[in-house]
Amino acid sequence: MASSAVIGWRILFLLLACTMVSTLAYTLVTDGSPFRKELLSRLMVTVLVDFYFNVTIIAAWVCYKESNWIATAIWIVFLVCLGSIATCAYILWQLWQLSSQESFEDIMYSVLIRDTNKNGVQQPRKPSNTMIAKIVFGAMGFLMAVTLAYLFSDGSPFNKDLFTPWLVATLIDFYINGTAISVWMFYKEESWLTAFTWIVLFLIFGSASSCTFIVKELFKLNSDDPAYLVLFKNSNRSERRYERTSSS
């Protein structure tokens, strides 16, 4: 039997998925195809870049989470094509996979961790990919910052004429994905104030902030730690023996 917290998370992401499905259906009916050149304003391009950088973050988690490469590829295609609908579906799937015991323990840890690692025993170390992750997410954050600077280089982009139905739909898609990332940020930060600050920065600056947050967390890892440890807060890594001890 699932805990009330798990049921609450299921309801939240089910509602978010339904919201996006409804938004997508409504926009298709009222505004036609999204694949039109006139929709690609400077603001729309910026939002799309931001959106897919955050999709990359979620896809990186999926790549770690899934042990089957076929399943991984399918989910990534869904993320690229369906956006937050796929994100919510994947999270719901993970929530439904929780055992009764896991649903009453650390829900975030159980959802984030790869199934083969749930016993909490440290896995054999592989060559660290932490430096690669720092470079990739650092570059993404920098590119997003440059894109934002370019967006504002010609004055304010917030002209009401630019807010087409498809731009609004894309923004809704972005912020639903952003909800999932914000939940992870809140889980990662020990201080509520710090977590709130990062979430506000993320909601304002998008992937420029989320990528910066990830790079910040990557720098907290040891040089030979696998990059996936960035998913978990420090207390989880210590309790589950993922971090080195002083005797090792």
pLDDT at 238: 54
What are the tens digits of pLDDT across the range 110-159? 999 987 665 554 455 555 689 999 999 999 999 999 999 988 887 777 77
Residue with more model confidence, 118 or 103? 103
- Written as six digits, the tokens of 243 are 């971090």
CB contact set of 180 (below 8 Å; sequence gap of 6+): 13, 58, 84, 87, 88, 91
16-20, 157-161, 174-178, range with the lowest pLDDT = 157-161
Helix residue ranges, H only, 41-83: 42-65, 69-82
Angle between helices 42-65 and 130-152 (to 10 degrees): 170
Beta bridge partners of 153: 155
246 belongs to a structural domain: no
pLDDT at 118: 58
Residues of the domain holding 98: 4-117+124-239
Specify the DSSP class assigned to residue 231.
Answer: G
What are the tens digits of pLDDT across the range 25-70? 999 999 999 999 999 988 999 999 999 999 999 999 999 999 899 9
pLDDT at 125: 53
Taking every pair of Cα atoms in the chain, the longest distance, rounded to a whole number of angstroms, is 64
181 belongs to a structural domain: yes
pLDDT at 105: 83
**Taking a C-beta distance cutoff of 8 angstroms, is the pair 217, 237 a contact?**
no
Supply the pTM of this predicted model.
0.88
With 50 as the cut, is the pLDDT of residue 82 above it? Answer: yes
152 belongs to a structural domain: yes
244 belongs to a structural domain: no
245 belongs to a structural domain: no
194 belongs to a structural domain: yes
Domains held by the chain: number: 1
What are the tens digits of pLDDT across the range 215-247? 999 999 988 889 999 999 876 655 554 544 333
Average pLDDT, the chain: 88
25 belongs to a structural domain: yes
CA distances, 186 to each of 168, 171, 211 (Å): 26, 21, 15
